């Protein structure tokens, strides 16, 4: 990828990742009767109402019962079905955590767990509906790959690729319409490989999910207003971490800043920090996310802005880090 990418304006039609997920799943279901969706009264928020109408034999509704959602999904998957268990990330990864740990990961039943309206997507509905713990708890569980796509392209690719793989996954989607990061469609998506959506030698902004877009906006601001060139990475796969890419940017950039819609504890930032230290990359480093406090109330955007997960806020932290 050349430097000409740097000034490509951010554009493209913005679509919510979970809408792309639902559409992609329909196209998979049309081709493969073994594709099954399991929902816990969550088909509306999961944008799966059309799926249910079109493929009624391929949707299983368990009602509001997340433990049973995951347990039954594990049983279905054990027979060879390609099972997507869809529920708000907050409930899926907390209430059904033991089923994820034992019935999916430990028993190696290849369920694709889909956490919808993740992070603080539900905004003003409050902390009961936020999932700021899911990366942390799932990272500590063996045998589950964690993916948080940033845009529609990554989402569609992730859904198609995981459907073809017989192993446990956790996919995390938000409901905010996301513009495409790479409108020229030149950067491939590969599970476990971060996508470099912008290159620069001063600082690496390593973000995931819906925070990649503001990180990219911040990179443009840094370039145009401060003459600071940032590499921006969509680290869609949280685990396993793309260590090779991490090594590359650690060698190239003066500083590293991570950004995520997750607690600052246990997520992408700490994963990167641990790897960098362990491998003797003693870089200027900072991590952005939701701090360990009673989360401020407001919409997702307001919460993001409050904690600096914005064009302005990320650029500000990047500058502070570079001046260390």
Partner 1 sequence: MNLELKSREYRRKILKYILKAKAGHTGGSLSCIDILNVLYNEVLNVNPANADAFDRDRYIQSKGHCVEALYVVLADKGFFPESDLETLCQYQSHYIGHPTRKIKGVEQNTGALGHGLPISAGVALAAKMDSLSYRVFTLLGDGELPEGSNWEAALSAAHYKLDNLCAIVDLNGLQITAPTTEVCNTEPLDKKFESFGWAVRHVDGHDIEALRAAFGALPFEKEKPSVIIAHTVKGKGVSFMENELKWHHGVPTEAQYKLAMAELESPLAPEGGI
* CB-based contact 154:21 (threshold 8 Å): no
Question: Can you name the residues that pair with 257 across neighbouring β-strands?
Answer: 205, 286
Q: What is the DSSP letter of 122?
A: T
* Least distance CB 77 / partner 1 (angstroms): 8
Tell me how far, at minimum, the Cβ of 43 lies from partner 1, in Å.
16
57 binds partner 1 (CB under 8 A): yes
109 vs 155, beta carbon nearer partner 1? 109
How far is the C-alpha of 238 from the C-alpha of 172, rounded, in Å? 11
Smallest gap from residue 87 Cβ to partner 1 (A): 13
The answer to whether 130 touches 90, Cβ cutoff 8 Å, is: yes
The nearer residue to partner 1, 106 or 226, going by C-beta atoms, is: 106
Interface residue with partner 1 among 80, 126, 177, 240 (CB under 8 A) is: 80
Q: By C-beta, is 95 or 254 nearer to partner 1?
A: 95
Given its phi and psi angles, is residue 320 left (phi above 0), alpha (psi -120 to 50 degrees) or beta? alpha
Helix (H) / strand (E) element for 260: namely strand 255-263
- Exactly one of 75, 179, 192, 291 binds partner 1 (CB under 8 A); which one? 75
Question: Does the protein bind partner 1 through residue 67 (CB under 8 A)?
Answer: yes
Among 63, 126, 177, 240, binds partner 1 (CB under 8 A): 63
Considering the complex, what minimum distance in angstroms separates the CB of residue 69 from partner 1? 8
Contact status: 29 vs partner 1 (CB under 8 A): no
Query: What distance in Å separates the CA atoms of residue 283 and residue 213, rounded to the nearest whole number?
Result: 24
The verdict on 73 binding partner 1 (CB under 8 A) reads: yes
Per rule CB under 8 A, is residue 99 in the interface with partner 1?
A: yes
3-state SS, 306-320, equals HCCCCHHHHHHHHHH
Strand partners, 38: 60, 85
167 lines the binding site for partner 1 (CB under 8 A) = no
Residue 154 token pair: 């990554």
User: Which residue in the set 20, 74, 144, 287 belongs to the binding site for partner 1 (CB under 8 A)?
Assistant: 74
Number of DSSP helices (H) and strands (E) in the chain, helices first: 12, 14
Measured CA angle at 274 (ends 272, 278), to 5 deg:
120
Examine residue 103 and tell whether it contacts partner 1 (CB under 8 A): yes
Q: How many residues lie near partner 1 (CB under 8 A)?
A: 28
The piece of 76-84, 147-155, 221-229, 266-274 that touches partner 1 (CB under 8 A) is 76-84
User: Which of 2-15 are b and which e, b meaning 16 or more Cβ less than 10 Å from the residue's Cβ?
Assistant: eeeebeeeeebeeb
Q: Which is nearer to partner 1, 12 or 75 (CB)?
A: 75
Q: Could you give phi then psi for residue 118, rounded to 5 degrees?
A: -80, 175
By beta-carbon proximity to partner 1, the closer residue of 38 and 249 is 38
Cβ closest to partner 1, residue 45 vs residue 107: 107
Bridge partner list, 146? 170, 239
Closest separation in Å from C-beta 55 to partner 1: 12
| Residues of this chain that bind partner 1 (CB under 8 A) | 36, 57, 60, 62-63, 65, 67-68, 70-81, 98-99, 102-103, 106-109
């Amino acid at each position: 990828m050349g430097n000409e990418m740097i000034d490509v304006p951010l554009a493209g039609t913005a679509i919510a990742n979970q809408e792309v997920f639902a559409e992609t799943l329909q196209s998979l279901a049309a081709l493969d009767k073994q594709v099954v969706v399991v929902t816990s009264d969550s088909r509306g928020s999961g944008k799966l109402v059309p799926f249910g109408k079109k493929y009624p034999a391929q949707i299983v509704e368990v009602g509001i019962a997340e433990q049973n959602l995951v347990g039954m999904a594990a049983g279905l998957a054990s027979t060879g079905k390609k099972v997507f268990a869809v529920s708000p990330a907050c409930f899926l990864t907390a209430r059904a955590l033991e089923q994820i740990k034992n019935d999916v990961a430990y028993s190696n039943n290849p369920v694709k767990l889909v956490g919808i309206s993740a992070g603080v997507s539900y905004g003003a509905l409050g902390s009961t509906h936020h999932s700021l713990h899911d990366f942390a708890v799932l990272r500590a569980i063996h045998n589950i790959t964690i993916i948080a796509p940033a845009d529609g392209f990554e989402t569609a690719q992730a859904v198609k690729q995981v459907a073809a793989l017989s192993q446990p996954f956790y996919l995390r989607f938000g409901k905010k319409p996301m513009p495409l990061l790479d409108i020229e469609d030149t950067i491939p998506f590969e599970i476990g490989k971060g996508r470099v959506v912008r290159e620069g030698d001063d600082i690496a902004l390593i973000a995931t999910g819906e925070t990649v877009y503001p990180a990219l906006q911040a990179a443009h601001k840094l370039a145009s207003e401060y003459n600071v060139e940032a590499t921006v990475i969509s680290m869609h796969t949280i685990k396993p971490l793309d260590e090779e890419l991490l090594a590359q940017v650690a060698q190239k950039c003066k500083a590293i800043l991570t950004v995520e819609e997750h607690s600052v504890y246990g997520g992408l930032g700490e994963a990167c920090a641990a790897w960098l230290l362990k491998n003797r990359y003693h870089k200027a480093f900072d991590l952005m996310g939701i701090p360990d406090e009673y989360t401020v109330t407001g919409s997702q955007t307001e919460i993001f802005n409050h904690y600096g997960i914005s064009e302005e806020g990320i650029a500000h932290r990047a500058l502070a880090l570079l001046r260390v």
